[in-house]
Amino acid sequence: MPVERTVVERAMRAKEASRVLAEASAEKRGEALVRAADLLAKRQSKVMRANAVDLEGAQRKGLSSAMVDRLTITDKRLAEMAQGLREVAEQPDPIGRVIDEWTRPNGLRISKVRVPLGVVGIIYESRPNVTVDAAGLCLKSGNAALLRGGSEAINSNLALAAVMQEACEDAGLPTSCVEMIPVTDREAVYVMARLDRYLSLIVPRGGEELIRAVAEVATVPVIKHHRGLCHVYIDATCDVPMAVKLVHNAKCQRPGVCNAVETLLVHRANAEALKAVLADLLAAGVEVRGDETVQAASNQVKPATEKDWDTEYLDLILSVRVVDSLDEALGHIAQYSSGLSEAIITDNEANTERFLREVDSACVYANASTRFTDGGQFGLGAEIGISTDKFHARGPMGAGELTSYKYVLRGEGHVRE
């Protein structure tokens, strides 16, 4: 069957299921989540067998050990998927909530009520847990999920999607509330991107190249997460040990992720903080690339070039620049930030407020690590992704961000004059 027909067929089924799902009670949707968590344990051997097939394929293709690691489902990871579903189930239900209501002078009553989007498409790469996480958040928010994972994880994904479908059926919901596209050609992605007739949203989770490719051709709205070029700015005065601790955490705790810091800006007046932070980072094995002032502070600092300010290392590398003022720091951030997370470390209240107001990023921090930009850390239960867009949703997206609203108007024979 040609790729297009397969994709369209699944999308149509998901659309149909989404109509039923939109009317399902919070209890029913919650039940599907809890049943899915239980079933993940019951179907463990089946899931593991499917995963073994993928892992063999990965060995044959000679995938990197990092890739194989991402692909591997362990007992612990399966238990984490189940736990994630239970946590999502326990979150407050977003659907049917009255966001706002008012009565017009003519007596017409208007309420703005949360509703599901419809069908959400998720395009992802090699992590099979996304199948469960994404389907779970979609069910929570009353949306059908149309999933398209990477080719190297196809057997694992199909097995996990089958578990989610079985749970839907057990809860009295259509199995097509979760649809997995069984073909892994890139073409499937492009077909999905143009199915605005059936899909309300596409969330691509993966590298910048994938996201740009999808956004380029899409007629379906796409939530983009371009990259995380995050900055920490150390102000002229601050609690120096706190600065050391925060920068260390933002850079070293998990350098390969989007909310790790990539560029540190330090006010020229705060030589003490610069010195202490550099000593800590260098001791931790971080490669520091600095401007001339930073280089002068330590002979282990390498020179930074213009390209460094624009680079997301995703590694134990940090570019460091000394600035003459908060203004200069704000200017640097406005020029180079990817708009994800920026932090100020300061004991100056006016500077805090100015930084938090003027930095145009999804998450702006005062005296905290940028590493908190994450649905779980925000308390959203889980996340479908993190948006660097401003449209519809920004920052970590939970079930609430997978909703729309409608206006409900109640009259007693109201006509427009």
Q: Based on the shown chain and the rule CB under 8 A, indicate whether residue 253 belongs to the binding site for a second copy.
A: yes
Q: Based on the shown chain and the rule CB under 8 A, indicate whether residue 349 belongs to the binding site for a second copy.
A: no
Q: Based on the shown chain and the rule CB under 8 A, indicate whether residue 98 belongs to the binding site for a second copy.
A: no
| Least distance (Å) between residue 188 CB and a second copy | 21
Q: Based on the shown chain and the rule CB under 8 A, indicate whether residue 306 belongs to the binding site for a second copy.
A: no
Cα 331 to Cα 153: distance, rounded to the nearest angstrom: 43
Q: Based on the shown chain and the rule CB under 8 A, indicate whether residue 363 belongs to the binding site for a second copy.
A: yes
Residues 245, 275, 302, 332: which binds a second copy (CB under 8 A)?
A: 245
CA-derived radius of gyration, the chain: 24
Residues 87, 169, 239, 312: which binds a second copy (CB under 8 A)?
A: 239
Binding region for a second copy (CB under 8 A) out of 154-162, 168-176, 241-249, 305-313: 241-249
Q: What angle do CA 18, 20, 25 make, to 5 degrees?
A: 110
CB neighbours of residue 72 within 10 Å: 17
- Kindly give the pairing relationship between strand 317-323 and strand 261-267: parallel
Q: Based on the shown chain and the rule CB under 8 A, indicate whether residue 240 belongs to the binding site for a second copy.
A: no
| Least distance (Å) between residue 297 CB and a second copy | 23
| Least distance (Å) between residue 262 CB and a second copy | 16
Q: Based on the shown chain and the rule CB under 8 A, indicate whether residue 190 belongs to the binding site for a second copy.
A: no
Non-local CB neighbours of 276 within 8 Å, separated by 6+ positions: 240, 241, 243, 244
Q: Based on the shown chain and the rule CB under 8 A, indicate whether residue 362 belongs to the binding site for a second copy.
A: yes
Packing angle between helix 129-140 and helix 75-90, nearest 10 degrees? 10
Q: Based on the shown chain and the rule CB under 8 A, indicate whether residue 146 belongs to the binding site for a second copy.
A: no
Q: Based on the shown chain and the rule CB under 8 A, indicate whether residue 249 belongs to the binding site for a second copy.
A: yes
Query: Which alpha helices (H) appear in 218-290, and where do they start and end?
Result: 240-252, 271-283
Measured from the CB atom, the residue of 68 and 405 that comes closer to a second copy is 405
Diameter of the chain measured on Cα atoms:
80
Q: Based on the shown chain and the rule CB under 8 A, indicate whether residue 65 belongs to the binding site for a second copy.
A: no
Q: Specify whether the CB–CB gap between 173 and 24 falls below 8 A.
A: yes
Cα 230 to Cα 127: distance, rounded to the nearest angstrom: 24
Q: Where are the beta strands (DSSP E) in 310-359?
A: 317-323, 341-345
Q: Based on the shown chain and the rule CB under 8 A, indicate whether residue 86 belongs to the binding site for a second copy.
A: no
CB neighbours of residue 60 within 10 Å: 8
Per-residue string for binding with a second copy, 3-42, x by CB under 8 A? Answer: ----------------x--xx-------------------
**Cα 147 off chain centre by:** 16
Residues 74, 83, 305, 377: which binds a second copy (CB under 8 A)?
A: 377
| Least distance (Å) between residue 17 CB and a second copy | 14
Packing angle between helix 44-61 and helix 75-90, nearest 10 degrees? 120
Q: Specify whether the CB–CB gap between 396 and 403 falls below 8 A.
A: no
Measured from the CB atom, the residue of 257 and 296 that comes closer to a second copy is 257
Residues 115, 183, 210, 276: which binds a second copy (CB under 8 A)?
A: 115
Q: Which helix (H) or strand (E) holds 277?
A: helix 271-283
Contacting residues toward a second copy, per CB under 8 A: 19, 22-23, 102, 104, 108, 110, 115, 117-118, 200-201, 215-216, 219, 221, 239, 242, 245-246, 248-249, 253, 334, 352, 356-358, 360-369, 371-372, 377-379, 389-392, 394-395, 404-416
